[in-house]
């Protein structure tokens, strides 16, 4: 699997007119090599592939990074890169400009001497946009774990329990069922705090007759899931019911119509136009979704500013919302993968408007 990815990376390098690239981003390192250690650098040329790491990981790297030459690097890693490139007669090397600070760039440039550093942008990330069968298998399992976590936490939601306690229960459940961690800081936002799109769990106690918004995901075998559900504790008002119904209508319109060939802007409009129709356009201030995979936020996005054309194999969230300060907010989110003719859901937790006693 990693060798197929290396081959695609080499094709990208050829298109850029580069003979080599050094990867410093940890997610890209794992994607290209399969190595899960916390420290390492990847050097790929037209016919050689190296994983450079330190003494701690030499055995692990050899076991995980099949097809790579494992090199124990110098205290200054770019001195080792310079030696390898000089031996190969390569005088220019690409680097990941979005992963390297200016200070680090200056240090790299000094250590590489006459070898030219060439900035590149999103080279591996563009490969990661398209999930292969093995990635989708893992992402389905991560999504199933999120679904199961939602079913579990419904039994814990009751007035008087803190948002923070609910978040802890969710994260403990995910970890005890195979997750490395949560995909991001778990959002539990109740009552008026549910109007905060990213209301990370606080010490607020759940009350009665109010929304509880739960946005969470499992980081599982290197991949993320991302699920949002909104429920009501106690008796909902008509307004609670109406807002939920509008958001669900908007979300279902995306799920039923999102397909390859659309731009991210057009996908976003599938939800945004419905929310605007009901007069709540000013209360939906974020994009309808984003890609996810090894990171919870990847490209492309479903947003008014994204003109990227969606293609099969891309995985997306679909998460419209309405947020009313002083009252509360609703978001409903699922993960999907784009197929040849449409999309396939990865998450299946109930979206019935649940009213919990």
The CA-atom distances, in angstroms, between 68 and each of 11, 49, 89, 236 are 18, 5, 20, 59
The CA-atom distances, in angstroms, between 294 and each of 41, 131, 288, 291 are 18, 10, 20, 10
Last residue of a domain, one of 128, 151, 175: 128
pLDDT along the chain (357 residues), means of 10: 91 97 98 97 97 96 96 95 97 97 97 96 97 97 98 97 98 98 97 96 97 98 98 97 98 98 98 98 98 97 98 98 98 98 98 95
Structurally, how many domains does the chain consist of? 2
Q: Say what the pLDDT of residue 1 is.
A: 63
Residues 79 and 98 in one domain: yes
Last residue of a domain, one of 128, 160, 194: 128
- The answer for residues whose C-beta is within 8 angstroms of residue 328's C-beta and 6 or more apart is 191, 192, 194, 195, 210, 211, 213, 240, 243
Domain that residue 141 falls in = 133-356
Predicted TM-score of the model (pTM): 0.95
Residues 64 and 202 in one domain: no
- Return the CATH number at 47: 3.40.350.10
- Return the CATH number at 172: 3.90.230.10
Between CA 263 and CA 270, with CA 269 as vertex, the angle to 5 degrees is 100
Last residue of a domain, one of 94, 128, 162: 128
**DSSP classification of residue 237:** P
Residues 121 and 6 in one domain: yes
Residues 324 and 177 in one domain: yes
Q: Say what the pLDDT of residue 2 is.
A: 85
Residues 340 and 249 in one domain: yes
Core vs surface per residue 182-196: b (16+ CB within 10 A) or e: bbbebbbbbbbbbbb
Residues 90 and 167 in one domain: no
Residues 254 and 351 in one domain: yes
Residues 229 and 342 in one domain: yes
Q: Say what the pLDDT of residue 357 is.
A: 80
Residues 324 and 198 in one domain: yes
Residues 226 and 352 in one domain: yes
Residues 189 and 294 in one domain: yes
Residues 210 and 326 in one domain: yes
């Amino acid at each position: 699997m990693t060798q197929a990815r290396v081959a695609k990376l080499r094709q990208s390098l050829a298109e850029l007119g580069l003979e080599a690239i050094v990867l410093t981003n940890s997610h890209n390192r794992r994607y290209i090599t399969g190595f899960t250690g916390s420290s390492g650098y990847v050097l790929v040329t037209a016919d050689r592939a190296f994983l450079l790491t330190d003494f701690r990981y030499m055995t692990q790297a050899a076991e995980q990074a099949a097809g790579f030459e494992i090199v124990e690097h110098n205290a200054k890693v770019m001195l080792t890169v310079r030696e390898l490139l000089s031996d190969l007669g390569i005088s220019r090397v690409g680097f990941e400009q979005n992963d390297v600070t200016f200070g680090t760039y200056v240090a790299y440039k000094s250590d590489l001497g006459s070898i030219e550093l060439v900035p590149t942008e999103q080279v591996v990330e563009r490969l990661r946009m398209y999930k292969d069968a093995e990635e989708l298998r893992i992402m389905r399992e991560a999504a199933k774990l999120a679904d199961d976590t939602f079913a579990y936490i419904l039994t814990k939601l009751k007035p008087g329990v803190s948002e923070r306690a609910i978040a802890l229960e969710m994260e403990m459940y995910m970890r005890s069922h195979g997750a490395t961690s949560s995909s991001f800081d778990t959002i539990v936002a109740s009552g008026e705090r549910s109007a905060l799109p990213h209301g990370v769990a606080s010490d607020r106690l759940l009350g009665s007759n109010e929304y509880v918004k739960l946005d969470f995901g499992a980081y599982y075998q290197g991949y993320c899931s991302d699920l949002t559900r909104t429920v009501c504790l106690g008796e909902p008002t008509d307004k609670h019911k109406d807002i939920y119904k509008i958001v669900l209508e908007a979300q279902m319109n995306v799920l039923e119509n999102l397909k390859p060939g659309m731009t991210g802007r057009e996908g976003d409009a599938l939800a945004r136009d419905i929310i605007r129709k009901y007069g709540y356009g000013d209360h939906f201030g974020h994009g309808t979704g984003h890609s996810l995979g090894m990171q919870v936020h990847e490209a492309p996005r479903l947003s008014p500013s994204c003109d990227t054309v969606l293609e099969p194999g891309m995985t997306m969230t679909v998460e419209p919302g309405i947020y009313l300060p002083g009252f509360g907010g609703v978001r409903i989110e699922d993960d999907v993968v784009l197929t040849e003719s449409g999309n396939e859901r990865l998450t299946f937790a109930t979206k019935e408007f649940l009213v919990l006693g």
